[in-house]
Structure 1
């Protein structure tokens, strides 16, 4: 690739973004009271000099304050996998908050048992508790794992994503052993005191770390996502389950992003058998919600422990966790929006999206690949596709990624800003996918000119 041409094209697209979005540019310049000028600093992870500001969002469409409408394949980095403001979820939230009230009354609702039963149907775990985010669900699952095993450490895969959980911010270093993930902010201690790490798809490394006998739980995504999609090799996940049982270690599946694999995530699609499962984002239809599930055997062991304060100050819970508003949103989303039929529709669109990307790659004989996980597709600047998190991180090309993101956004298409990921929702159409295929092909043609 001609890097000079890439830089020239990126400069052109950046200038076009500033010209096309004066109101967003001005709003960003005025935001002097926000840390980093944005509500959350990760909102600065955007191609261009400033983020585009939201005006409205419905279904698979987003409109910014400059009046530009976008086909949204980002969908809140999975948070809006049900589409933006699904009518049935909006009605349930309106009914609970404005008509019934009591969103934070600290009392259970009957909706909670319905949601728990539905999550059991989908994922197989027998007992459920709620959180406001998947990060919180992971933190609570970790505490329970440590309590029941009396072991101090958590093992994760290098460059996996589990929110801002301190124990997860560890990667495999050049020497093959764990080290702090670069850029971690305010770590409470050396992460190797709390955590172990193994590369995804590396069973020998996993067994080496488990053999120490101090790992309470393996917390893992069944497929890596936030570093780019890295799919498990045949037999890998079954072997992980065998090794965790061999060494008396619990297995926690984080399905927050891998929920895209189907109605029960990878756990149902691939017949996995975790001891705990965490999920968030998508199940609330845009309302903050998370959940963690436990096997019946594990739940009974924990509830039978008289020394654990699971009711008051034991660190498992939060005042707003399981609130009536979030639970109503979860029920509406799971019952009426992210249904089995919706997932089938979304997966078919994702397959079409991946095929369109592959056409573009093949047309220019690019050393790239496209990976897919159910309703989620992603193009990678490597061939063959990376098989570990560290390989995936090394395959990144920020300059190329920024060009593609800006090129698409300037022509009405949004990808997830953290990587080149596209997610389908129930409202996404074949025409939306084909529009991306056409614009993506135009971008490649300009690069190759």
Structure 2
């Protein structure tokens, strides 16, 4: 909810009128998207995947084509894309090296799904090892799968049943991660959890991000196989680690004989080796997905040498056939080819340097606009990713971050921006840079953002 000071500044009746006006404008500008949505009666929720119904305007923009940092919808409108497929297109849409690698795999070499290895896989594993510091890698199709398989292996090797996550974390649809701390400070299922196989408090423990005392209390039970965490929270809004917090997490997990998994799927924006590389972290497992394939579905998990040896040394664990670790399409030649091209030719060290420079310009410009309107908001940056928050100082926990959401204000800003050719990540005010994003793109966002605030605040 908005703060008292913010409520004084924002006329809620005006906000409601402006939001209604912008939604009406969206409908007028997108007749073909409206028709496509209305006619998709054989799709559950009228979309290929129900997440696509998360939009500010009542129905989604339907894409026609996309390239680099640009997207064009079926109504012919062009957009500067700061959403980038919710990180999946952090390399830009259809980067030329990935297109070439996938085309060669399919057209020249064939064998998109062979259930056999290619030599490229070892090359990709070596590059991931260089970036993240872990020597043994395996592949999945999604980061959700990578997290699920890592959890199973760590339960097996420790003999412990539980996983610990941060309140309001995001690790895909991993059942064990859908736990939060309630207002009374007790763990409970996250609101809206669909079809949980069992009470999540039976499988999981939870602590607030940036709370070492809470983490220590939960680990003291002695039943936690692994702490699964993002080095910075992202999907509830960017929540950055406080000085010493991540070192404290590593010390506590070692003290209690608990493995540490860094989910770098979104925090990959921090640099070529994600937050693990940028901040000198030393997890036992890294999981990642989305961006490493340049838009082609892929995920991966990396293991420490000690953990890999412990697993392969267990004759009782079926890691080859029906043990619950694997998938027919995982590590397929096409996704491996896309990942090699993305890591070696697109999301390079130099590319990250440029993306982070543009993101810094984005963050600095937003701060100036917010300060100019004397709004009690803040800006958080995670490498190539930036978000503006309706709170100051920026929230330090997931629960606090969830509490500062303002759905009507978010919807107004999103639909106002969409109507003027700017796409943000649809579930909060997050902007991601790709190698093709320019300072002119940033300037255009800031121009439209300033106009939106000007109309709202008068």
Q: Which residue of 1 aligns with 2:352?
A: 343
Q: What CA distance in whole angstroms lies between the structure 2 residues aligned with 1:233 and 1:32?
A: 48
Q: Which residue of 1 aligns with 2:400?
A: 391
Q: What CA distance in whole angstroms lies between the structure 2 residues aligned with 1:167 and 1:37?
A: 29
Which residues in structure 2 correspond to 1:26-65 (within 5 Å)?
26-65=35-74
Does the CA contact (< 8 Å) of 1:166 and 1:187 recur in 2? yes
Q: What CA distance in whole angstroms lies between the structure 1 residues aligned with 2:270 and 2:332?
A: 28
- Partner-residue secondary structure (3-state), 1:316: coil
Q: Which of the residues 228, 233, 246 maps onto 2:237? A: 228
Q: What CA distance in whole angstroms lies between the structure 2 residues aligned with 1:350 and 1:99?
A: 38
Q: Which residue of 1 aligns with 2:419?
A: 410
Q: Which of the residues 152, 161, 167 maps onto 2:176? A: 167
Q: What CA distance in whole angstroms lies between the structure 2 residues aligned with 1:327 and 1:177?
A: 43
Question: Size of the alignment, in residue pairs?
Answer: 449
Q: Which residue of 2 aligns with 1:430?
A: 439
Q: Which residue of 2 aligns with 1:365?
A: 374
Q: What CA distance in whole angstroms lies between the structure 2 residues aligned with 1:382 and 1:295?
A: 39
Q: Which residue of 1 aligns with 2:7?
A: none
Q: What CA distance in whole angstroms lies between the structure 1 residues aligned with 2:339 and 2:290?
A: 10
Q: Which residue of 2 aligns with 1:179?
A: 188
User: Quick check: 1:440 aligned with 2:449?
Assistant: yes
User: Quick check: 1:101 aligned with 2:110?
Assistant: yes
Q: Which of the residues 126, 130, 148 maps onto 1:117? A: 126
Q: What CA distance in whole angstroms lies between the structure 1 residues aligned with 2:417 and 2:365?
A: 15
Q: What CA distance in whole angstroms lies between the structure 2 residues aligned with 1:202 and 1:276?
A: 21
Q: Which residue of 2 aligns with 1:2?
A: 11
- Partner-residue secondary structure (3-state), 1:6: helix
Q: What CA distance in whole angstroms lies between the structure 1 residues aligned with 2:34 and 2:324?
A: 42
Q: Which residue of 1 aligns with 2:298?
A: 289
Does the CA contact (< 8 Å) of 1:177 and 1:197 recur in 2? no
Shift of 1:177: 2.1
Structure 2 runs not aligned, ≥5 long: 1-9
Deviation >2 Å, runs of 4+: none
Shift of 1:103: 1.2
Task: Give RMSD over aligned pairs.
Answer: 0.5
**What is the TM-score when the length of structure 2 is the normalising length?**
0.98
* Cα-to-partner distance string for 1:330-353 (whole Å, 9 max, x where unaligned): 000000000000000000000000
* Cα-to-partner distance string for 1:40-78 (whole Å, 9 max, x where unaligned): 111000011100101000000000000000000000010
**What is the TM-score when the length of structure 1 is the normalising length?**
1.00
Q: Which residue of 2 aligns with 1:356?
A: 365
Shift of 1:370: 0.7
